[in-house]
Amino acid sequence: MMKIRKMGLGLIVLVMLLTFATSVSASSTRTDTGTTTHSGGNLALQYYAYDSHIHGWMYATVYRVTASGDVYVGSGSIEGGMPHGDGIRTGNLYLGNQPAGTYKYVITLPSGWMGPSTVWSTY
């Protein structure tokens, strides 16, 4: 009888630990950055990530890099994971007519997602 109680208690502790570990991993995020040199005109950033069945949001922000600091250009976000299924999440930022210079993106996403991948383009 004592072995069954210990085993039951051990099982409850294991379930609690797994629940805590899952909630921690789903709530932790990581950040990815990158730059491009733009010759002027319409600029766009397309960003992708696989959500790995983990619910969360991917946020992307673009800045123009200047000598006096970064200047905000635009941002977007996309939700993924449960209850929205799983798959590749794609966001598009059409940033309009931008002057020539260096631009950088900052993407924050759940740690369990795979990616991100990015594509800068003009249109």
Instruction: Give the pLDDT band (50/70/90) at residue 6.
Output: low
Q: Give the model's pLDDT for residue 115.
A: 97
What pLDDT score does 1 carry? 56
pLDDT at 99: 98
**Mean per-residue pLDDT, 21-34:** 73
pTM listed for this prediction: 0.76
Instruction: Tell me the CA end-to-end span of the chain in Å, nearest whole number.
Output: 72
Decide: 60 and 75 in contact? Cβ < 8 Å. yes
Sheet holding 88-98, edge to edge: 88-98, 41-50, 114-122
What pLDDT, on a 0 to 100 scale, did the predictor assign at position 11?
A: 45
Query: What is the per-residue pLDDT across 31-81, written as a single tens digit (0 to 9) for each?
Result: 999 999 999 999 999 999 999 999 999 999 999 999 999 999 999 999 999
